[in-house]
Structure 1
């Protein structure tokens, strides 16, 4: 999509992109709502376990997305079409039912949450990639309303507070798995292997890091890390949206829309912090800690992904899956090392500072690799 397209078409596409992008808030609120409800229903020790479970669920969602969506979008020799698989929808319904029946049970929540988040990640990814914008708007509303009802019930101390949260996820899953006219492309096995490998290498860093925070700094810091990561994850919504669109084709318009949304999200988060909304949402884990500096660094870390995503998606479109897996391994080691160094300082702000430095270095690594590939192709074409 180019900025040179006719103005009415460009405006309409930008408007639908912005609405769909905003719908991504529904995905980001699930971890936040889970941590908020847990702060009212579970003990401090159980909250630490749930905080780690939230990061594990995010990792599970990334893996499912890699297998079902990204591997197909990265298979340059196919039509690169994706659909929401019915088996994942069924698994989400079963997991949601189990959580509701079990009530406020830490084991049921820790086991079921990864399945629910995987369904959310894949469902939204399919809708964004295939531009199923109207369907995605309804699904996002269902998730958001369920999360809101669950958080309000948690504030009231109701033991059933998880039920509306889960019901919203399941309802959105049903909407997202409705039939479509196209069929999913069969991913190239080699491409799928590389995509899943580099996703696993990268995604494993954060649950491992949060588990280390739980072990060395205690449950309160683990909950706070999960809360700040979740709140700053609002910035990941436009970045993930941009990544999905760029995996299909380069779009200056989507980059501009996403960058504007990142700036708006940072402003919104700082206003919410100044008003004390996060302390009200997450309870003592937030209100009794110095959170402004860690939050600023977490926002900078997320925003730096803008510079990383553009060359990363360009390499994906070129089919450079093996190269990207190697680069992601290097980046993951660097990220974990710098974040662990921050952990050694004994403060969360140092952990987020390490993540920020690693993200900036990653952007340079990906851009250097992209330019080398482009130069090599130009030489080969001239020859």
Structure 2
């Protein structure tokens, strides 16, 4: 339990948390910007291929994040310190240069995306976990500015539209790998194994699902699914921020800030949808489809993670990695089954409804597991105390 901070310190902490949280928009806009630019540079079939590649790259980023960051934050017997590894920064910068120099092709972009997004995931995760707020603000501005210029160039039909996007990522990567005073903790090998397995089991669902959508419903629906998932991913910014902070320590302030940000993000997305902004950004796949209901369901699915993240982080902090991996495996099977049932109905709304139901069910499962573990800890502590008294 953390000690309460004085009023001015709480306000300053809340302000820094909010600014850093808002900086997460830069991470969320990269997949959206990639889909938007692709809709101007590539054919419909290439766009469908890239729609799957974007989710595969996100999955690769999650796995890298699990190895570099989350495994250390989950190692309860260590100091749980993390840094941005120089090897990942170097590979990311080289990849950005290659993508910028070569003529734009779907294959080159698909190969480069996993490396670029992995660097973004790890770099932001380290900054948030270690509260490197000032450098994170500058890095976020670099990423966001590059994405904005790239999207505008795409609107103008410029073949170099991918260049500012990857240059922004390279600049942010260089900023995030600047030296820090601490050393990274060495993760516990068993914990790392369970965390990676956990992430792999959970993350593989979405690229696999979009590959099935591409195969059974076609390129347009695959692009639309990736676009809606990417747009609703704006809600994942405060959720991921809260998850990272709660992995270090429980904080009601961060929970409140994150929940308020989720609500604000939902309102912003609905306004943009009703104004027709997404149809303009993502092109024909969005503009030619009924997207309001799928978007609402996708937002509800993302927002439901609020209820999942709190007990999940509590179990992570307690070192219950083996239990969590088992629970996540069950939840992933249920998630895929419900989403596949929606796919069988040939409806993206049904797919997102399946994801929502699965998320709500997982929140119940994690909370029951947390309470059960807490009760067991209380009983064990009482038994030890009784034995000591005897």
Normalised by the size of structure 2, how large is the TM-score?
0.97
Partner of 2:185: 185
Aligned length: 383
Alignment of 1:195-214 (within 5 A): 195-214=195-214
2:12 matched to 1:12?
A: yes
Q: How far apart, CA to CA, are the structure 1 residues paired with 2:4 and 2:181?
A: 30
Contact kept, 8 Å, 1:2 with 1:252, in 2: the verdict is no
Partner of 2:63: 63
Q: How far apart, CA to CA, are the structure 1 residues paired with 2:91 and 2:109?
A: 14
Partner of 1:369: 369
5+ residue gaps in structure 1?
A: none
Q: Secondary structure at the match of 2:131?
A: coil
Alignment of 1:103-114 (within 5 A): 103-114=103-114
Q: How far apart, CA to CA, are the structure 2 residues paired with 1:113 and 1:382?
A: 52
Partner of 2:150: 150
**What displacement does 1:2 show?**
5.5
Q: Secondary structure at the match of 1:174?
A: helix
Q: How far apart, CA to CA, are the structure 2 residues paired with 1:352 and 1:3?
A: 41
Q: Secondary structure at the match of 2:304?
A: helix
2:216 matched to 1:232?
A: no
5+ residue gaps in structure 2?
A: 384-390
**What displacement does 1:3 show?**
8.4
Partner of 2:387: none
Partner of 1:38: 38
Q: How far apart, CA to CA, are the structure 2 residues paired with 1:27 and 1:350?
A: 28
Alignment of 1:1-383 (within 5 A): 4-383=4-383
**What displacement does 1:131 show?**
0.1
Output the aligned Cα RMSD: 0.8
Q: Secondary structure at the match of 2:183?
A: coil
Q: How far apart, CA to CA, are the structure 1 residues paired with 2:366 and 2:77?
A: 23
Residue-by-residue CA offset, 1:168-194 (whole Å, 9 max, x unaligned): 001000000000010100000000000
Indicate the larger mover: 92-101 or 164-173. Answer: 92-101
Contact kept, 8 Å, 1:21 with 1:241, in 2: the verdict is yes
Q: How far apart, CA to CA, are the structure 2 residues paired with 1:238 and 1:180?
A: 25
Q: How far apart, CA to CA, are the structure 1 residues paired with 2:136 and 2:25?
A: 12
Runs of 4+ with >2 A deviation? 1-4
Q: How far apart, CA to CA, are the structure 1 residues paired with 2:140 and 2:217?
A: 35
Q: Secondary structure at the match of 1:216?
A: helix
Q: Secondary structure at the match of 1:131?
A: coil
Contact kept, 8 Å, 1:50 with 1:110, in 2: the verdict is yes
Q: How far apart, CA to CA, are the structure 1 residues paired with 2:375 and 2:247?
A: 21
Contact kept, 8 Å, 1:73 with 1:81, in 2: the verdict is yes
**What displacement does 1:94 show?**
1.5
Q: How far apart, CA to CA, are the structure 1 residues paired with 2:271 and 2:102?
A: 37
Normalised by the size of structure 1, how large is the TM-score?
0.99
Q: How far apart, CA to CA, are the structure 2 residues paired with 1:166 and 1:54?
A: 14
Q: How far apart, CA to CA, are the structure 2 residues paired with 1:296 and 1:161?
A: 30
Residue-by-residue CA offset, 1:152-178 (whole Å, 9 max, x unaligned): 000000000000000000100000000
Residue-by-residue CA offset, 1:261-283 (whole Å, 9 max, x unaligned): 00000000000001000000000
**What displacement does 1:359 show?**
0.1
**What displacement does 1:102 show?**
1.9
**What displacement does 1:4 show?**
3.4
